[in-house]
Amino acid sequence: MKTYKHLFAQVYAFDNLWSAFHQARKGKRSKGSVAAFEYRLERNLFELETALREGSYRPGGYHHFYIYEPKRRKISAAPFRDRVVHHALCNVIEPIFEQRFSANSFACRIAAKAPTARSIRPRAMRGATATYSRATSSSFFRAWITRCCEACWRAASPTNRCWR
């Protein structure tokens, strides 16, 4: 397996944070938290860059609410500032993981298109036994992002300290 080094510096690079902000605000420009962040955009991005570089960044608390379509579900939404960090992290690690995904995997992938998935599925399923698993948890993604960030901070920290 190939080892990648110095990825964390790419996560907190200002250009990456700028791009991550624009990705995080898509479809959310009418939200107050987005407007507040954008009002002092450069200052907020520089503060994020510094906090990430120094290892003092702490994720904020999640906002919990329920939706009722098609059934009652609890949604846990990260603060906008954390969403910017999530996008910055994904901008760096997604291309690495994208290379390793199966050609028959289409969920949550940028390059994979629905028409291709529809054409490949019958061929892939012919003569095969499929097992489907559905695992949804309100804390799954939060825990995954936290583990990724902890690993990055451990590797990047000059004193090799970890936040909790």
Question: What are the extents of the domains in the chain?
Answer: 7-123+136-156
* pLDDT for 138: 46
d(CA 120, CA 126): 10
Number of neighbouring beta carbons within 10 Å of residue 16: 19
Per-residue pLDDT tens over the stretch 31-47: 999 999 999 999 999 99
Of all residues in the chain, the percent with pLDDT exceeding 70 is 63
- Which of 2, 25, 8 is CA-nearest to residue 160? 8
* pLDDT for 92: 94
Tokens of 23: 């990705």
| Predicted TM-score (pTM) of this structure | 0.68
Per-residue pLDDT tens over the stretch 76-120: 999 999 999 999 999 999 888 887 777 766 666 666 666 665 666
d(CA 18, CA 130): 42
Q: How confident is the model at residue 3 (pLDDT cuts 50, 70, 90)?
A: confident
* pLDDT for 6: 86
Q: Count CA atoms within 13 Å of residue 85 on its CB side.
A: 25
